[in-house]
Amino acid sequence: MTKPIVVALNPLHPQALALATEHFDLILPSSERFKDWRRHAQGVLTISRSVAKEDVDVVREYGKLKYVAKQGTGVDMLDLKALKDAGIVVMNTPGINAQAVAELALGLIIDVARKISTTHARFYAGEEIHKADGWGGQTLFGKTIGLIGGGDTGFALARMFQSAFNGHVILYDPFLSTADLQRWERDIPPTFITRTSSFNDLLTQSDIVSLHCPLTKDTKGMISAPQFDLMKRTAVLVNVARGGVVDEVDLEVALKEGKIIGAGVDVTVVEPPSQERYEGLCKAGCVITPHYGAAPADVQEATCLAMVEHMIEALRGGSVKNR
Ligand code: MLT
């Protein structure tokens, strides 16, 4: 039986590569056939955040494409409408990397609240730091975290924050699914959580504001100057969701003007983030990491494998995995 032709736009993890080779006539970027994959491939495997859009955008060039499988949760880098109109189905691997991304968010919260990276940078630059000069940051025990988005990542962070710091959670998510709601009700003690439909209430009451929502036309620039004006001057902002959700120019101004105490972001409007573009933000005290929340090797292996498994199942005529 002939195997379906599938292109991998990015290198696959060894185990996933072995599985893909077994089931597909696989076109890899190193192959001579790669330049012509659009005419032949029935499936696309991708992890790219910036490359993928250009590649899958040109849907009219696709002769036989049926499925695009994205490693990870976010699919904002794909032109979903163009793909849907062309009858191409998009799949993702939600949930698998949530704990890893939430752990990075927690790391950024502790880092920014206790000023770990910025203290290290000052020390490394030869500055003397005195405990009494108001630099020491703030503690987290018993504090309130405001979560924008209650899906897999927000939930994983809430659980850790609540148990590590006896912290209170304010959750804002107008689109929370019934399954997610049941999970929150089951696993987070009701006295530790407030669900709110008021985004402004979350901003004014939270010691930490952490983003866990997709990038859509509604969430783009959701945290901009007016929102910084509402936040506590001691608040920490963390973004492990998508760069465009926070207005980066306004964030830099907010940090410089002391509207919030600090920020940690794993996602930026331009990725990978260049030192040149983000120097101002770093100097203003923002801790930046290069979208590596889902980067741990075990997580990469699991999500890559799931992406290939989803493609095998779909091309077999089985169910389609996406959310
Ligand atoms: C995701 O969308 O799941 C994360 O941003 C991880 C990634 O794309 O690498």
Q: Are residues 38 and 146 in the same domain?
A: no
The answer to the question of residue 115 being in a domain is yes
The answer to the question of residue 153 being in a domain is yes
Pairwise pLDDT comparison (123 vs 169), residue with the higher score: 169
Q: Residue 56: which pLDDT band, with cuts at 50, 70 and 90?
A: low
Domains held by the chain: number: 2
Tens digits of residue pLDDT in 305-320: 999 999 999 999 988 8
Instruction: Print the domain residue range for 197.
Output: 98-288
Please work out whether the CB of residue 97 comes within 6 Å of at least one atom of ligand 1: yes
Q: What is the C-alpha separation between 299 and 282, in angstroms, rounded?
A: 28
Structure pTM?
A: 0.92
- Of the listed ranges 5-9, 36-40, 238-242, 296-300, the one predicted with least confidence: 36-40
> What pLDDT shows up at residue 131?
74
Q: Are residues 179 and 262 in the same domain?
A: yes
Q: Are residues 254 and 106 in the same domain?
A: yes
Q: What is the mean pLDDT of residues 217-228?
A: 97
Residues 193 and 146: beta-carbon distance below 8 Å: no
Q: Are residues 130 and 81 in the same domain?
A: no
Q: Are residues 172 and 52 in the same domain?
A: no
Q: Residue 304: which pLDDT band, with cuts at 50, 70 and 90?
A: very high
The answer to the question of residue 76 being in a domain is yes
CATH number of the domain residue 10 falls in: 3.40.50.720
Q: What is the C-alpha separation between 112 and 222, in angstroms, rounded?
A: 21
Q: Are residues 131 and 279 in the same domain?
A: yes
- Of the listed ranges 71-75, 148-152, 262-266, the one predicted with least confidence: 71-75
Q: Are residues 17 and 164 in the same domain?
A: no
Average pLDDT, the chain: 93
For the record, the structure tokens of 109 come out as 């919260």
**ipTM score:** 0.93
* Most confident by average pLDDT, 23-27, 84-88, 271-275: 23-27
Please work out whether the CB of residue 72 comes within 6 Å of at least one atom of ligand 1: yes
Q: Are residues 278 and 309 in the same domain?
A: no
Burial 271-284 (b: 16+ CB within 10 A, else e): eebeeeebeebbeb
The answer to the question of residue 66 being in a domain is yes
Tens digits of residue pLDDT in 87-144: 899 999 999 999 999 999 999 999 999 999 999 999 999 998 887 677 778 999 999 9
Q: How far is the CA of 47 from the centre of ligand 1 (A)?
A: 8
Q: What is the mean pLDDT of residues 261-270?
A: 97
**DSSP three-state, residue 125:** coil
Burial 30-65 (b: 16+ CB within 10 A, else e): eeeeeeebbebbbbbbbbbbeebeebbeebeebeeb
80, 215, 265, 291, best to mutate for ligand 1 pocket (most atoms within 8 Å of CB): 291
The answer to the question of residue 322 being in a domain is no
Is 60 exceeded by the pLDDT of residue 271? yes
Q: Are residues 303 and 258 in the same domain?
A: no
The answer to the question of residue 84 being in a domain is yes
Q: Are residues 139 and 36 in the same domain?
A: no
The answer to the question of residue 321 being in a domain is no
Which active-site residues does the annotation give? 242, 271, 291
Q: Using the Cα atoms of residue 153, residue 158, residue 161 and residue 164 in order, give the sign of their dihedral.
A: negative
Q: How many CB atoms lie within 10 A of CB 323?
A: 13
Q: Are residues 19 and 113 in the same domain?
A: no
> What pLDDT shows up at residue 51?
46
Is 70 exceeded by the pLDDT of residue 57? no
Q: How far is the CA of 218 from the centre of ligand 1 (A)?
A: 20
Q: Provide the residue type at 182 as one letter.
A: Q
> What pLDDT shows up at residue 54?
54
Q: Are residues 136 and 248 in the same domain?
A: yes
